[in-house]
Amino acid sequence: MEVQWYNTIMDSGTPLNDDPYRRWKERKLARYPTATADLLVEISDPFALTTAEKRAILDRCAKANMAIYRIVTPVTSHHQLLPAITAQLGLQDPDHHLGAGSEGLSALTPGGSAYQPFAAYIPYQQGTAIGWHTDGYYNPPDRPVRTLCLHCEQPAGTGGENELLDHEVVYIQLRDQNPDYIRALMADDVMTIPARVEQGSVVRPDRCGPVFSLQADGTLHMRFTNRTRSIRWRSDAATQQAVAALKALLDQPSPYQFRGRLEAGWGLISHNVLHTRAFFQDSPETLSRRLYRARFCDRLPQIGEGWIGE
C-alpha cells in the first residue's frame, strides 16, 4: 500500500490531491475477488505448508485482506493446528488478552473463555447474533489487533455463518461518498469504549481512538463495533453524519461482502476485516460448536520479504 494516497486525506486546509488515491483504488478494485470461492486455498498438511500454499494465502490477503483455507486431509489435532499455521505464515506477536489461554488461543464455544467472567459474553454463547465489528476495538492504541485468524473444529448444528467485508473497500466507498466522512472517522477521539468495571474496580480504562488509522508500515487499520450500548461517539454533527453513513453502508447489500460458514477443517486468515456472526444453535445430537481464534498485533509478511524460503 502506498502511504501517499492515504496522507492526501489528512490536510483539510488544502484541496485534496486525489491522483495517488485514485491509482491505488483502481489497482485494488481491478483485481478484487468476486466470490467466496476466490478466497479459498486448499491445504494438504497444516503442519507443513508448502511454499505454494503459503503464497496462495498471502496473495489472497494482499488482494482482499483475507483468505479462507480448507484442509483436505483428515485432522486429528485441531487445538494445535491454528498456532502451527500462523507460525508458518510469519505471525510473531500474539494478542494475549484475558479471554485467551497462555498461548493466545481462544476457544469460541459455549463457556469457552479462559477468563471465567467472559464466559457469559456473546462470542462464547449460542443463541445471539453478533453485528459488524473488528476484533480488539477495545485494545490500547499501541496494541491494535491487526490480524485475526479462525479455525473450525466443529460447526454449529444450525447457523453460525459469517459475513466478511474488507475495511479498505469500506474506506473507498466512504471516501468516494464524502471525504469529510473519512476526516471525521480518523479523529483521535471519535470512538470511545467505556471502562470495564468489575466488583467496583476498573479493570480496563476507557479506550478512545480513531476508526480509520494509518499504521507505521503504511497500512490502513480499522477499529469499529456496531454496538449501540457501552460506546460513545463524538457528538459533533460531522461525526454523527460519518457514523450514520458507515452504518448505512454496512446495512446494504454489497458485491464486496462475502458470506459463508466455516466447516470442520476450514479456517480464516485475515487482516482483521469487518465481520459478523449469525445466530447459531447447537444440536443435542452433535458436539457443541467450537472454533479457535488467534489474534495478532502484527500483519502477515509480504511475499518477497525473505521469510518464505523454498
pLDDT < 70: residue spans in the chain = 1-17, 98-102, 110-127, 286, 303-310
Burial of 158 (0-12, 13-18, 19+ CB in 10 A): middle
Grid cell 461482502 — which residue? 257
| Strand pairing report for 266-270 and 66-71 | antiparallel
- Give the amino acid at 63: K
Beta bridge partners of 3: none
What homologous superfamily is domain 33-166+259-310 in, according to CATH?
Clavaminate synthase-like (3.60.130.10)
Give CA separation, 70 vs 74, 148, 154, 208, 269, in Å: 11, 17, 14, 37, 11
> First and final CA of the chain: distance in angstroms?
26
Chain segment 284-296, per-residue pLDDT in tens: 776 788 899 999 9
- The domain segmentation of the chain, as residue ranges, is 33-166+259-310
Given this model, what pLDDT does residue 30 score?
92
Secondary structure class of 104 (helix, strand, coil): coil
Given this model, what pLDDT does residue 46 score?
97
pTM of the model: 0.90
Give the DSSP H or E segment for 167: helix 167-177
Given this model, what pLDDT does residue 123 score?
63
